[in-house]
């Protein structure tokens, strides 16, 4: 794969998967605008990419004012992006009976509203410029599986799948494509945190992956590389599931 000349925006870029994706895309030649809420000083050390290939923009992806400002700054610095990855996601773990509505609202704000805000900003930019566009949404295998104690998260990922298909359907005739990556249980980031801290989650996970091992961040990054590349140019409205068979659930 050769991503030279591609300009890619990714939100939630400084998390475990975001960093793997950024490093992979840069390694293949893309220039990347990395957005996250962490301070720029901390973000500088996140990535392992040649000087000048990654530009960091501090931005809450659910805040439309910050997102609009970030897109202006990105366009000015790098040019209009080819691909925008709506990658930010958060999780809270609790049974439905004890899940707080504050956590529910925060999760929906970041996972669903934030995805819409970023995808809409990218769409407006591409339509205004008459440019082709490529949206990538980060969903999850749980978009279709009622994995316990994550019900609002699962719901947000189901909603993201519906949103992705809506963007794909509405915008195909205007040259904008949308697809999703659905990872499984990665041995990094939010899943590793739950796996490490929550015995019930760990017990479920240990028998949930048909391929028998936690997923590598690299395998997620490979899916992004394909979707950013021209090899995926006839693909829209699809979910690229890369989950070690988790979605074949139940597996026992």
- Of 15-23, 97-105, 170-178, 202-210: span binding ligand NAD (CB under 6 A): 15-23
Q: Does 209 participate in binding ligand NAD (rule CB under 6 A)?
A: no
Contact 117, 35 (CB under 8 A): no
- Chain centroid to Cα 24, Å, comes to 14
Region of residue 244 (left: phi > 0; alpha: psi -120 to 50; beta: else): left
What are the CA-CA distances from residue 18 to residues 15, 167, 211, 217 (Å)?
A: 5, 22, 23, 9
Q: Is 232 helix (H, G, I), strand (E, B) or coil?
A: helix
**Strand bridging mode 83-86 / 176-183:** unpaired
Q: How many residues does the chain have?
A: 252
Site for ligand NAD in 158-187 (CB under 6 A): 183, 185-186
| Binding residue for ligand NAD, selected from 135, 191, 221, 223, defined by CB under 6 A | 191
- Options 8-16, 47-55, 70-78, 162-170: segment touching ligand NAD (CB under 6 A): 8-16
Site string for ligand NAD, 26-65 (x = CB under 6 A): ----------xxx---------------------xxx---
Check binding of 90 to ligand NAD (CB under 6 A): yes
Q: Which of 15, 81, 152, 244 binds ligand NAD (CB under 6 A)?
A: 15
Positions marked catalytic: 153
């Amino acid at each position: 794969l050769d991503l030279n000349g591609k300009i890619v925006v990714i939100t939630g870029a400084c998390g475990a998967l975001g960093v793997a994706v950024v490093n992979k895309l840069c390694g293949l030649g893309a220039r990347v605008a990395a957005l996250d809420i962490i301070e720029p000083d901390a973000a500088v050390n996140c990535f392992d990419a040649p000087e000048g290939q990654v530009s960091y923009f501090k931005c809450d992806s659910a805040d439309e004012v910050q997102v609009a400002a970030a897109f202006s700054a990105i366009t000015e610095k790098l040019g209009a992006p080819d691909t925008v990855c709506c990658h930010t996601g958060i999780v809270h773990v609790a049974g439905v009976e004890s899940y707080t509505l504050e956590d529910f609202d925060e999760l929906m704000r970041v996972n669903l509203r934030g995805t819409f805000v970023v995808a809409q900003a990218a769409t407006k930019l591409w339509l205004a410029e008459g440019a082709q566009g490529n949206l990538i949404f980060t969903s999850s295998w749980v978009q279709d599986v009622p994995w316990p104690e994550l019900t609002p998260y699962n719901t947000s990922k189901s909603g993201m799948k519906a949103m992705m298909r809506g963007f794909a359907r509405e915008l195909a005739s205007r040259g904008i494509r949308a697809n999703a990556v659905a990872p499984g249980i990665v041995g990094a980031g939010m899943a590793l945190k739950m796996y490490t801290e929550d015995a019930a989650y760990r017990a479920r996970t240990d028998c949930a992956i048909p391929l028998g091992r936690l997923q590598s961040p690299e395998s997620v990054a490979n899916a992004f590389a394909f979707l950013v590349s021209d090899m995926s140019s006839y693909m829209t409205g699809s979910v690229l599931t890369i989950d070690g068979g988790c979605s074949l659930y139940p597996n026992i």
